[in-house]
């Protein structure tokens, strides 16, 4: 049962072969048993989860159930869940019990999904390894010496180890796709604006986007339909008609044009990852796709631009943590000024402080034009690269990350090396495009490799179709980490 697809779980629930309470108990039991070793969850609250499950069972009994009613889902600890600790992986919010639900949580709750727990993450989503979490790093279920990726590392770990059938994540520079790749699961970052940011703790508002993480593309399609939707409380939420993202899953891929950006296969890409990604491209050829070479000439500028814009927006967003209205306050201080500086010194971890300092500098008087404005201009050049590429192809394929999951501690003292692991993912956020990662093989140490797919704006259904057809022809996505039966 813990390895079933969402469609199978939905059928079992509706046919009364299993109740939501039984299903929730099963995943809670797995999570409680394995969390000590994996640290995928920051918070489990069985009583609350089971109460939601019982309510879902009543809906099913009353014939008021939707397709997803009764299915448990884990939420990244960045999403406010009313009555749940919502720490965002930070000491700063280590006492913050959210007084309201995020729009995504509200929507999934309305659809009848059961909150299974809150997953571990890099502090304020700033990281690529889940090592910056105040609650300690999560582990990669494929190899406990490896990071699960980040920032949504706890969500990826929980799905990979079958502690949850699905999870939510957020992606500012690759934080859904990269951990999905490293843990051998599927993850989707939607077009910017499709999923409301309301109640999602803000990092870099022009880049942040929530999305689903699950075992397969078909599961992602089911979840995206439940997560996406207009919300007046998010000023960048898009007003678009609701759609069924699973509608095109079965369409044949014959004649689809796939673009391979030469910049994504150059120096810096590890051989094992290249081999798996090239084999996946061959699989797409076998499915009838036409493969064309494309160029995204400004790829090398993505990291510099991202590490100006994201810290700038973060320094502004994180100015709200002052120890006055909620969250952590330093225990000792002489005056108001000291209360602020000590609260922020003690409440934030090293990486968050580093990014706030970078952001403060690039926005400060005399440097704004040289850094922030310059980065915004180069951001447009990067977006234009994609616009030109999509004149020649329907989908872009490449690696999600330049290597398989690295060892814990390998990059934690070197921020620049850590930043470079986002090289293939950040450009998608800068352009606001949808991107997904699906498993496409294994590399060094038996660690999973992720295939990244980028589509044009609002092409999620076609991307999920292409990912699903690949998953019908391959079995990478159903492989399980050793020890997970």
Partner 1 sequence: MPLSPAEVQRIARLARIELSEAELAQALIQLNGIFDLIAEMQAVDTEGTEPMSHAQDLVLRLRPDGVAQADQRAEFQAIAPAVENGLYLVPKVIE
The Cα 341–Cα 440 span in angstroms is 47
**Element containing residue 290 per DSSP (H, E):** strand 290-294
In the stretch 187-216, what mask flags binding to partner 1 with x, by CB under 8 A? ----xxx------------xx---------
With H, G, I as helix, E, B as strand and everything else as coil, classify residue 237.
Answer: coil
**Among positions 241, 416, 475, 485, the unique one binding partner 1 when judged by CB under 8 A:** 416
Residues in the chain: 485
Pairing of strands 166-171, 209-214: antiparallel
Would you call 82 a catalytic residue per the annotation?
A: no
Q: Find all residues with CB under 8 Å of 365, minimum gap 6, and list them.
A: none
**Among positions 379, 411, 447, 468, the unique one binding partner 1 when judged by CB under 8 A:** 379
Task: Report if residue 336 touches partner 1, rule: CB under 8 A.
Answer: yes
Burial (Cβ within 10 Å: 0-12, 13-18, ≥19) of residue 123 = buried
**Among positions 96, 198, 406, 424, the unique one binding partner 1 when judged by CB under 8 A:** 96
Task: Report if residue 360 touches partner 1, rule: CB under 8 A.
Answer: yes
Task: Report if residue 370 touches partner 1, rule: CB under 8 A.
Answer: yes
Task: Report if residue 323 touches partner 1, rule: CB under 8 A.
Answer: yes
The Cα 133–Cα 86 span in angstroms is 13
CB 460 within 8 Å of CB 434 = yes
Convert 29-50 to b/e letters by CB count within 10 Å (16 or more is b).
ebbeebbeebbbbbbbbbebbb
Task: Report if residue 85 touches partner 1, rule: CB under 8 A.
Answer: no
Task: Report if residue 174 touches partner 1, rule: CB under 8 A.
Answer: no
**Among positions 37, 61, 286, 381, the unique one binding partner 1 when judged by CB under 8 A:** 381
Residue tagged active-site, from 175, 237, 421, 427: 175
Cα-based distances in Å from 119 to 35, 169, 303, 363, 389:
10, 9, 27, 32, 36
Residue tagged active-site, from 10, 19, 20, 76: 76
Would you call 262 a catalytic residue per the annotation?
A: no
**Among positions 304, 402, 479, 480, the unique one binding partner 1 when judged by CB under 8 A:** 304
β-bridge partners, 448: 442
List active site positions: 76, 151, 175
Q: Which residues of this chain interact with partner 1, rule CB under 8 A?
A: 95-97, 99-100, 191-193, 206-207, 232, 235-236, 238, 298, 300-301, 303-305, 307-308, 315, 322-329, 333-337, 339-342, 344-345, 348, 353-354, 356-358, 360-361, 364, 370-371, 373-381, 383, 415-416, 419, 430-433
């Amino acid at each position: 049962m813990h390895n079933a697809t969402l469609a199978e779980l939905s059928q079992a629930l509706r046919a009364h072969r299993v109740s939501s309470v039984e299903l929730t108990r099963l995943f809670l039991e797995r999570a409680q048993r394995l969390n000590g070793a994996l640290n995928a969850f920051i918070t489990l609250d069985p009583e609350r989860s089971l109460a939601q499950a019982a309510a879902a069972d009543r809906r099913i009994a009353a014939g008021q159930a939707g397709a997803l009613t009764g299915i448990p889902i884990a939420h990244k600890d960045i999403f406010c869940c009313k009555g749940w600790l919502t720490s965002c992986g930070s000491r700063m919010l280590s006492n913050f019990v959210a007084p309201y639900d995020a729009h995504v949580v509200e929507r999934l709750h309305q659809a009848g999904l059961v909150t299974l727990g809150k997953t571990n993450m890099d502090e304020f989503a700033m990281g690529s390894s889940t090592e910056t979490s105040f609650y300690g790093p999560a582990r990669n279920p494929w190899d406990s010496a490896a990071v699960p990726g980040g920032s949504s590392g706890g969500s990826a770990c929980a799905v990979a180890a079958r502690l949850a059938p699905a999870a939510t994540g957020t992606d500012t520079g690759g934080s859904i796709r990269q951990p999905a790749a490293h843990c051998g699961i599927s993850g989707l970052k939607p077009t910017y604006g499709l999923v409301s940011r309301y109640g999602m703790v803000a990092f870099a508002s022009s880049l942040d986007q929530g999305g689903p993480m699950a075992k397969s593309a078909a599961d992602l399609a089911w979840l995206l339909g439940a997560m996406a939707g207009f919300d007046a409380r998010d000023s960048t939420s898009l007003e678009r008609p609701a759609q069924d993202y699973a509608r095109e899953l079965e369409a044949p891929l014959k004649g689809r044009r796939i673009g391979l950006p030469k910049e994504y296969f150059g120096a810096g890409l590890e051989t094992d990852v290249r081999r798996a990604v090239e084999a996946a491209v061959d699989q797409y050829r076998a499915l009838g796709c036409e493969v064309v070479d494309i160029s995204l000439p400004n790829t090398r500028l993505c990291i510099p631009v991202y590490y100006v814009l994201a810290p700038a927006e973060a320094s502004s967003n994180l100015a709200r943590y002052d120890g006055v209205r909620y969250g952590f306050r330093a225990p000792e201080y002489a005056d108001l000024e000291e209360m602020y500086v000590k609260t922020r010194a003690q409440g934030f971890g090293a990486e968050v402080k580093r990014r706030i300092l970078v952001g403060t500098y690039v926005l400060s008087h005399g440097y704004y034009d040289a850094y922030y404005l310059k980065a915004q201009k180069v951001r447009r050049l990067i977006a234009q690269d994609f616009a030109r590429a999509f004149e020649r192809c329907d989908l872009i394929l490449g690696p999600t990350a330049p290597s398989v999951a690295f060892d814990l501690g390998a990059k934690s003292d070197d921020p620049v090396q850590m930043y470079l692991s986002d090289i293939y993912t950040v450009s998608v956020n800068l352009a606001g495009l949808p991107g997904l990662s699906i498993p496409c093989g294994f590399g060094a140490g038996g660690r999973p490799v992720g295939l990244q797919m980028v589509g044009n704006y609002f092409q999620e259904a076609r991307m999920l179709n292409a990912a699903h057809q690949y998953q019908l022809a391959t079995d990478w996505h159903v492989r399980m980490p050793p020890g997970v039966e």
